[in-house]
Amino acid sequence: MRNIFNLSIAGLALLAVACDDPSVEIVEQNNSYKLDPNAIHVDMPEKFGHNTSNLIRNEGGTEAVLYASEIEGEIQIPVTEIPLVFKLKRKLKQATKFVFSPDEELMKLYTGVKEGFKPFPENAFSGMEFTIPPGITDYRTTIRLQEGIAGLNQKPGFLSSYRLKPLSGGDADIKVSEASKGLYIKLKFSLLKDGENVSLAESIEDDWNKIPSNQITPESNYQAGRLPNIVDGQKYPWSANWWVPGGGSETLELGFAKQKVAGVVFYTNSSYQKVIRSVRVSVSEDGGATYFNQGVVQPERARVVYIAFDEPVEINKIKFSNFESWNAMDPYIDIHEVEVYTVE
């Protein structure tokens, strides 16, 4: 305790000496200073805009395209139905009727090609009104282009915009999602048509140009994990393959950038007659939304099958279906490579 007392006395003495030293600067308090009100900015977040209303949205997108072709003066529209899928944020409290009403103002927001297209005649479609019952959050319905609509032969086609809205008398809490408020329906004339337009060729024609394999996207409802094998550039019988059973519903689709296609070549495995006996060919210009049948080819027992379009087609997808194999006991087709060829 004595040591602590002595140190305290010494500290006080040093402090007293320092205060008496005239070289020490004394800072005076200045109350005249004021903070610049603009020196500090508090960034307050906007009010939280959570929408508590029940919402309905169209899962199929804002545009539906139908295709028409004119054959010998007759208008043919192979697909006249537009399937729609709606999702609700939560179940409706009561059955609610919705309607797609014509709305020209929405056409100002349309970003696709609309020059030259005319609006559809009034009442061209059925199914524009539908009722969603309570207790569900998923609903499917179909809009149909009605038969016997006069004047649909005007090219390049027709385009109209429709606004989705609930009718009064239903669930008052339901609102239409902003992204789903509009539906654009287009009828577009196409040079594609159903018909016999494929035949077997003996070889690759001189004016055919091969689409690089890495620019082709294969799709199938069967053995999808093996599809990269048919666009890897390896077309030999010993290379990896993809196979498909004959006589079933399995399909093969090849997608690529839109261009004029002249032919397709299949490289198969002839060791066990697992080669193509028959296959149907269909083509699409809208990524597979609409297909036009081009006919069936029936090659002989051959490892390499050359398929030519009698009239080259401007497309971005080909579908092969109704496969049949030459192997009756083990009716599979082993496909090692598929090549797509274009013309200028």
Question: Within 10 A of 218 (CB to CB), how many other CB atoms are there?
Answer: 19
Closest CA to 183 of 267, 61, 335: 61
Q: Measure Cα distances from 27 to 19, 24, 35 in Å.
A: 13, 10, 20
pLDDT at 38: 56
Distance (Å, whole) CA 266 – CA 337: 6
- Enter the tokens of residue 156: 């390049």
Whether 336 contacts 240, CB under 8 Å: yes
Q: Determine the topology of domain 198-342 in CATH.
A: Jelly Rolls (2.60.120)
What are the phi and psi torsion angles at 280 (to 5°)? -95, 145
pLDDT at 46: 55
- 269 burial (CB, 10 Å; 0-12 / 13-18 / 19+) is buried
pLDDT at 51: 61
pTM of the model: 0.64
Q: Where are the domains of the chain?
A: 54-189, 198-342
Q: What is the DSSP string of 60-121?
A: T-SEEEEEEEEETTEEE-S--EEEEEEEESS--SS-EEEEEEE-GGGGGG--S--TT-BPPP
pLDDT at 23: 56
What's 54-189's CATH class? mainly beta
pLDDT at 231: 98
What are the phi and psi torsion angles at 247 (to 5°)? 80, 10
pLDDT at 105: 95
pLDDT at 15: 45
pLDDT tens for the chain, 344 residues long, are 444 444 444 444 444 444 455 555 555 555 555 555 555 555 555 554 556 789 999 998 899 999 998 877 788 898 899 999 999 999 999 999 999 999 999 999 999 889 999 999 999 999 999 999 999 999 999 999 999 888 888 889 999 999 999 998 888 899 999 998 999 999 999 888 889 999 999 999 999 999 999 999 999 999 999 999 999 999 998 999 999 999 999 999 999 999 999 999 999 988 888 999 999 999 999 889 889 999 999 999 999 999 999 999 999 999 999 999 999 888 999 999 999 999 99
Specify which residues 185 forms β-bridges with.
64, 160
pLDDT at 12: 46
What are the phi and psi torsion angles at 136 (to 5°)? -130, 160
